[in-house]
Structures are given as structure tokens and as C-alpha cells.
Amino acid sequence: GEDVEQSLFLSVREGDSSVINCTYTDSSSTYLYWYKQEPGAGLQLLTYIFSNMDMKQDQRLTVLLNKKDKHLSLRIADTQTGDSAIYFCAGNNDYKLSFGAGTTVTVRA
């Protein structure tokens, strides 16, 4: 199965950009995902990128995919306190999603 790795913690100042990185092992993933989890809540799908794309932008979110290095990143512009959460990257093997352990993002004033 897919192994997905991401750093565990990120602290960022309000208004700065956040960059969360992720590496994966299964090059056959057709989709790569970013999910957000707030305390006590389920996983909210933020965005996903098709594997033949390099970049996807959606308002404050920018996803970059380097397929050669199997590296995925999520950039959040103008980070706000409401962005404090755990962010999971995931790849797919058909309908089976494989998740990293999550990056806890803390936004400080």
C-alpha cells in the first residue's frame, strides 16, 4: 500500500503564508488530496489535484505536485486563526485513500 509522510507540526504567524509538505510512495495514485480536520470534527475535503497536473489554485490555497519526486505541498496564503487545524494529505489506490499522520498547524497572533 501507499506510504504517505508529512511533518507533524507547523507554527505560523497570522497573515504569513503556510506551506505544508507531504511525500508519497505510490506513483500510480491518480488523485492527491488535502483534508482539514478541526477539533472534534470530521475530515473536510479542502482540495485535490489530478496526478497529471503540476499546480492547482483555489482562492487562498495553492497545491503543487512534483510527480518525479513524489512531493505534494499545500500553501495557504494570508493564514488566519481559523486555519488552525490538522491537515492530512492522502493519495489513492483506486477508491482506497492512504493518509499521512497529519500536520498540526498552529496560527499565532
Q: By the criterion CB under 8 A, which residues form the site for another protein?
A: 4, 30-31, 35, 40-45, 48, 88, 90, 92, 94-102
Q: Could you tell me the smallest distance in angstroms from the CB atom of residue 17 to another protein?
A: 24
Q: Which is nearer to another protein, 62 or 98 (CB)?
A: 98
Contacts of residue 59, Cβ cutoff 8 Å, sequence gap at least 6 = none
Q: Which is nearer to another protein, 17 or 28 (CB)?
A: 28
- Minimal CA–CA distance to 30: which of 74, 89, 95, 102? 95
